[in-house]
Every structure is written in structure tokens, then in C-alpha cells.
Amino acid sequence: MLIRANNAFLILGSLALGFSIGCSAGAEPELDSAEAGGEEGDNSFGSSSGSETVVRWNNNSFTAMTGSNAFEVFRGVTMVHIAMHDGANAVARTYNRYALGSISGSGADATLTAAKAAHDVLLSLRPDQQSALAGMLQTDINRVSNSRVRSRSLEVGAAAAQAIVSLRTGDGMFEVVPYAPANPPVPGRYQFTPGVAAGACPQCPFVTPFALASGDEHRAAPPVALTSAEWARNYNTIKDLGRVDSTTRTADQTNLAKFFFENTHLTWNRAARDVATRRQRSLTTTARAFAMMNTAIFDALVSCWDSKYYYEFWRPLTAIRAGDTDGNDATAPDPSWEPLGVTPGHPEYTAGHPVISQAAALALTETYGNSQFTLFSTTPAPSGSTRTFRSFRDAAIQAGQSRVFAGIHYPFSVAAGIAQGTAVAEDVMDLDAWEERDY
């Protein structure tokens, strides 16, 4: 099914005025009976330590996977949180499971089980981090004094990890897929930009998603025609607003572009850690939220990369320097044009930030509702700054807008990304694994 976006300028608002579309803050969702308390024998299920454990192992995941490429981290963090969700629910029996099957968690501690599941997934991905991971797990082992409970927890946690590791073996992430841009160059077709020698993750369109049937399930509709008025409008918008020395882009728009320079999965996992810390939920609800969000992030990546490498649309840096080759009289070239941001090494359409951000935002909203939150970035401008958003979805819209201000993506690509991210999130949130227990 091809995903079509509404008019890019209606979705994004007036970029020149910095208008952003968000959702009004909603009421705090009430806790259901499962979130409000625990079961006898599960000493962490309803306590604040549940959120703390999930947040800590999310941090541990990024620490342990330092040095892995971003795409492997996307996948690895998703595996960690699915294993934690499955392990916790083998014990607490609140929600269904994704990979674990019917193994009983009777006699185990849910928190230690979840921690062991995370540990073992990370150890399978980064065996060179064995010593560091053992130290991380010891924190959780130390809080369970009963040797039988401890032993049972480690057993069930190991099974939860093995289930997702086995399921993802041979998923295509480590396949070698050759890629080269069109030669000679073709107007509208992607070309490597300065500093890029190889396409980023050309195998990603073919990697098995966690929830979608395939990477092309939500392929975007084709990009706009080069001879159209819509192309000229998008071209001239980013040519003006996205150039490094733009006199139209405001200081705040420049700061917004720089704020979201980092890899998107870092931004949204940081947002999830902050919200989970401030708005405590049970272990199983927090584990579910992180598993759902990271599943949405990974499948959004696969869906986006399918569109990127299927259409191979050219980047603004290439298009604007060759504006006299597109057959459109309204797109004057500028051979010296430079974007504000560094152009990533993969095709332009669809824009990754809005696809991934919209999917993550909708998944987080499912658990935590619409509410204002403050986010900081590892690439803030000015240094030390934070940004406050009206909702997760407002942050997703602004993350998309930032790519236009950075000179990296066209408005129509951002709009298509939002639509694509929505479609992915809806499928992810419909997974049976997140439903209340039916076994």
C-alpha cells in the first residue's frame, strides 16, 4: 500500500513563520488495575523500581553498544526491550509476550528477570562487553536475597533473551547489499554528496521488521514530479530556508535545526527515559512502553529506508546545484549552495526524522498520553539549551521541520514521512504482544 501525505505546507504550517502543529495537552491517563499495583510474590511489579530498572537498562544498552553503527543500535535496543517485556510478563502476567512463548515465570522476581533478559541480549550482541555487563547486572542480583528466587529469575530472563535472539538470527541486518548511484547522473536521482563514499545501510529495506510484514508494506507514494509547480515550491523553500547563510531563517529555526542534528533514536529514547522517570508506572507497563516505542522506531527505519532506496531521490545539495537540469523553469540553480546541516549519506525521500519521530511519538502517547515535556539534545544550540514541547506529537512535527531548516529535506518529504510514521505506528501498536494477558 502506498502512503500518501497531504499537502506538505498544510501539514508543516508556514515554515517561513516558524509555525508548528502540535496537540494540546491532554489529561493524565488514569492507571488501570494492572498499573496500580502488583501481585503477591512479585516484589517490584507495582513499585517505582520498575520504571527505574527499565530506564537504567535502556541507558546500559547505549553504553554497551558504543562503537556499533547506528542501525545495529536501533535493532539491538529493540531486542533488549522486547526481551525485558517478555521476561517481566512471564512473571507478572500482565501483558502478552512477543517471542517467549508459554514458559512460566512462577517463583521468579520480575525485575531481576527483566534485567537478566536485557543483559543476555546485550551480551549476545557485544560479547566484548562481558565484564561491564556483568557489573551492570550485579546491581539487580544484589537486591534479591532469596537464592531460589534469584536462580529462577536468572533462568527465566535467559530464556526471554534467547527467544528474541533466536528469532532475529538471520534477519538480514548483516547482509551485504551493494549500492551505487546512477552513473552518469540523472536529474532527480540520488548522487553521493561531498564526503560520502558509500550509501548508509542499503540492506535496511530488506531487514525483517519486528511488526510489519515487510519493509515495503507502507512504502510512500512517489515524490513530486520535477516539472511540477509543487517541486518548484519545495525547491525554492529549502533553497532559501535551508542554506547555511540564510537571511530568512530565524535564529530559533537555526537552533531547532541544530537541536535535532543527532540520530533520532537517541532523542526519543532520552525522551522516554525522562518521561518514565517523572511519571512512574509499573515494571510491566514501563517495559511495554519502551518495547513498543523501540519496535516502532526500528520498523519506521526499515519502512523509511525502503522508500529511500526504492525512489533514490536526490538531496537538496545536489538538486540546487543542478537546478538547470530538472526541466523546470522555476528552479534556478546555485552552484555554490551549501546547507546548514551535514547531508547524510543516503537518498532523500522519505525524511527519516519525521518517519521515526512520528512513530515513536505515537507509541509513547499510547502509554503516557498527551502532555508537555522538556527535552535536551546532545547537539543543542546554544550550548545547554532545552526545548519544551506541547506533546510527543508536537516534538515529532518539529523534528521534521528541523530537517528543512537544516537544508537536508524538502517539505513534501517531511510530510510524507509523518504519514508513513503514522501508518507504521498503527501497525506496531496493534501487535498482540502489547495486549493484556490472554493466556
CATH code of residue 21: 1.10.606.20
- The predicted-structure confidence for 349-406, as pLDDT tens digits, reads as follows 999 999 999 999 999 999 999 878 888 888 777 777 889 999 999 999 999 999 999 9
For 57, residues 6+ apart whose C-beta sits below 8 A from its C-beta are: 80, 84, 114, 115, 118, 119, 136
| Residue 413 pLDDT | 98
Q: Provide the domain limits for residue 368.
A: 1-30+187-439
**How many structural domains compose the chain?**
2
Q: What is the rounded (10 degree) CA torsion for 92, 94, 97, 100?
A: 20
| Residue 36 pLDDT | 26
Q: Which of 169, 197, 220 is the last residue of a domain?
A: 169
HSE-up of 387 (CA within 13 Å, CB side)? Answer: 27
Same domain flag for 288 and 366 = yes
Same domain flag for 148 and 247 = no
Taking each helix axis as running N to C, give the angle between helix 49-64 and helix 264-278, from 0 to 180 degrees, rounded to the nearest 10. 160
Same domain flag for 289 and 401 = yes
Judged by DSSP in three states, 390 sits in: coil
| Residue 50 pLDDT | 81
Same domain flag for 255 and 360 = yes
Same domain flag for 245 and 311 = yes
| Residue 20 pLDDT | 34
**Does residue 182 belong to any structural domain of this protein?**
no
- The predicted-structure confidence for 116-127, as pLDDT tens digits, reads as follows 999 999 999 999
Same domain flag for 144 and 228 = no
Same domain flag for 380 and 244 = yes
**Dihedral pair phi/psi, residue 306, rounded to 5°:** -60, -50
| Residue 37 pLDDT | 27
DSSP string over 88-130? HHHHH--B--SS-TT---TT--HHHHHHHHHHHHHHHH-GGGH
Q: What is the pTM of this model?
A: 0.91
Q: Which of 122, 140, 169 is the last residue of a domain?
A: 169
HSE-up of 437 (CA within 13 Å, CB side)? Answer: 16
For 340, residues 6+ apart whose C-beta sits below 8 A from its C-beta are: 242, 243, 244, 246, 249, 254, 257, 258, 405, 406, 407
**Does residue 40 belong to any structural domain of this protein?**
no
Same domain flag for 369 and 286 = yes
Q: Measure the CA–CA gap between 419 and 402, rounded to whole angstroms.
A: 17
Q: Measure the CA–CA gap between 390 and 219, rounded to whole angstroms.
A: 29
| Residue 24 pLDDT | 27
State the DSSP code for 438. Answer: -
Same domain flag for 230 and 322 = yes
Same domain flag for 6 and 149 = no
| Residue 46 pLDDT | 37
| Residue 12 pLDDT | 53
Same domain flag for 162 and 290 = no
Three-state SS annotation for 206-268: HCCCCCCCCCCCCCECCCCCCCCHHHHHHHHHHHHHCECCCCCCCHHHHHHHHHCCCCHHHHH
**Does residue 200 belong to any structural domain of this protein?**
yes
One-letter amino acid for residue 19 of the chain: F
Per-residue pLDDT of the chain (439 residues; tens, 9 = 90+): 566 565 555 445 544 333 333 322 222 222 232 222 223 233 334 344 689 999 999 999 999 999 999 999 999 999 999 999 999 999 999 999 999 998 999 999 999 999 999 999 999 999 999 999 999 999 999 999 999 999 999 999 999 999 999 999 999 999 999 999 999 999 999 999 999 999 999 999 999 999 999 999 999 999 999 999 999 999 999 999 999 999 999 999 999 999 999 999 999 999 999 999 999 999 999 999 999 999 999 999 999 999 999 999 999 999 999 999 999 999 999 999 999 999 999 999 999 999 999 999 999 999 999 878 888 888 777 777 889 999 999 999 999 999 999 999 999 999 999 999 999 999 999 999 999 986 6
